[in-house]
Amino acid sequence: MKYFIKTYGCQMNINDSEKIKGILQTQGYEPATKEEDADLVILNTCTIREKPDQKVWSHLGEIKKLKSKNPNVKIGVCGCMAQRAGYEIASKMPFVDLIFGTKNIHNIPKLLEDVKVGNRAIEILEEEDPLENILDSYPTVRDNSYCAYVTIMRGCDKECTYCVVPFTRGKERSRNPQSILDEVKSLVDNGVLEIHLIGQNVTAYGKDIDYPFYKLLENISKIEGVKRIRFTTGHPIDMTDDIIETMASLPNMVNHLHLPFQAGSDRILELMKRNYTKAYYLNRIEKLKSKVKDITFSTDIIIGFPTETEEDFQHTLDVVQTVEFEQVFSFKYSKRPNTPAYHMEDDLSDEIKTDRMKRLLEIQKAITSKLMRRYENTVQKVLVEDKKENTYIGRTTTNVWCNITSSNDILGKEVEVLITKTGFQSLDGVVQNIL
C-alpha cells in the first residue's frame, strides 16, 4: 500500500505531515512519488485566508477525477480546513473517505481500520484530547536530514480578531520538556544540526506547565551536537527580556527572528486585539538589535483590516522603514468565519488593498536590496543542507540562502563562506573553512 500527502500552509502543517507519514509507515504504508500511484491520498489543509480554502476545494475537484479512474484509491482530508469545515467537505465531496481534524492525528490507525473495510471515517474533535501525547511516540519521516522541525506546543490562546487559528488548533498546550529534549537528542544523534522549534506561538511556551521558554532554549542549547536553534512564531507580547537575554547569550541560537507585527497603527492594533502598540513593538526590536549581534528580522503584515485609513497604513510603512526587515510577508485582509472580526464590514475594496500592498512591496524591495548588499565580502557561517549539480546550498545564521562552490564534500557541514556576490533573495560564495 502506498500513500501520498499534499501539504498546504505553515510549518506546523509540514511537521504534522511528517508525523502522519511516520504513523502511516507503522501501518505498513510506503511513500508514492505521485498522487496517481497512491492507494491513499491525503490533503493536509490550511484555512488561514480564503485563498488557501479555494486551493483545497479546487484540488479536491481534481482528486475526484483520480477516483473515477481508480475507484479503489482512498481520499483523506485533514488539517486546519478539515477542523473548521470538515462536515461541509463531507457533504459537498461524498467521494472523500477519511476526514480528521488537527487534534486527533494520533487516531489515524483506528480511522484507517474503518476506511479499509469500506466505511467513511470522520472524526473532528472539538476538545483537546489528553491522549494526544501518544503522537510523540510515533516516528517522524523528515525530508530534510540536517534541519528538523520540532513541535513544542500546539494551539493558541491569543484572541487576535482576524485569526481562525484558535478555532482550528485549539487551546495552548505545551509539550512535556523532557519529551522535547529526548527528541532533540535523538535528532542530533542521527545527524541533524539545526533544531527549528515550532508552534503557533512558541514564545508562550510553558505558561501552562510553569516551565519558561528561555529555560527550554537553555536546555536544548546544552545538548551536544546542536549547532543551531531557531524558533517560529512568536507573539511580540511574549517576547520578554529573559528570552532576548537568552537569545543573546547562547552560542548556538541564530541571529534571526520572525516577529509578526501585523499593523503599525495603534487604533488598528487595538481592533485586532494584539494587545501592544507600535511603540511597544519598536521597543522590542530596539532591544533585540542592541543585544543580539547582527540580528535580522522578518515579519507578517495584514493589509486592509476593516476601517484601515491611509493614515493607519502610513504607520505600517513607518514600522517597515524603521525596523528594516530582511523579509516581509504581507497579506490582504481576508474575512474568516467564526472570528471576532467576522461581524465587521470588510469595507476596503480589493483595489485599495492591492494598491497598498504594491506600495509596501516597493519600499520593502529597496530595503531588502540594501540589506543584501551588506553581505558582500563578508564571511558568513552557512549550514549546508542540499546539493544541486555542483553547487552546495545552505542558509546563513540570518536565514539567507547561499549558493556555495567547494571542491570538498561539505553536505551536512557548517562552513565559513566568503560572500562573492549578492542577489535579491540569495548569496553566492566560496568556502573558506569547514567548521
Please report how close the Cβ of residue 235 comes to ligand 5AD at its closest, in angstroms. 10
Within residues 189-218, the interface with ligand SF4 by CB under 6 A covers 200
The binder of 285, among ligand 5AD, ligand SF4, none, by C-beta within 5 to 8 A per type, is none
Within residues 279-308, the interface with ligand 5AD by CB under 6 A covers 300, 302
Cβ-proximal residue to ligand 5AD, closest one: 300
- Choose, by CB under 6 A, the member of 336, 353, 381, 413 that binds ligand 5AD: 336
Choice between 203 and 252, CB closer to ligand 5AD = 203
The binder of 9, among ligand 5AD, ligand SF4, none, by C-beta within 5 to 8 A per type, is ligand SF4
Question: How many residues lie near ligand 5AD (CB under 6 A)?
Answer: 12
Cβ-proximal residue to ligand SF4, closest one: 9
Within residues 31-90, the interface with ligand SF4 by CB under 6 A covers 46-48, 79-80
The binder of 162, among ligand 5AD, ligand SF4, none, by C-beta within 5 to 8 A per type, is ligand 5AD
Choice between 185 and 258, CB closer to ligand SF4 = 258
Q: Is residue 204 close enough to count as binding ligand 5AD by CB under 6 A?
A: no
Q: Is residue 260 close enough to count as binding ligand 5AD by CB under 6 A?
A: yes
The binder of 262, among ligand SF4, ligand 5AD, none, by C-beta within 5 to 8 A per type, is ligand 5AD
Q: Is residue 167 close enough to count as binding ligand 5AD by CB under 6 A?
A: no
- Choose, by CB under 6 A, the member of 22, 31, 35, 49 that binds ligand 5AD: 49
The binder of 327, among ligand 5AD, ligand SF4, none, by C-beta within 5 to 8 A per type, is none
Residues 6+ apart with CB under 8 A from 351: none
Instruction: Kindly list the residues in this chain that would bind ligand SF4 in the complex (CB under 6 A).
Output: 9-10, 12-13, 46-48, 79-80, 165, 168-169, 200
Instruction: Kindly list the residues in this chain that would bind ligand 5AD in the complex (CB under 6 A).
Output: 48-49, 162-163, 260, 262, 300, 302, 331, 333-334, 336
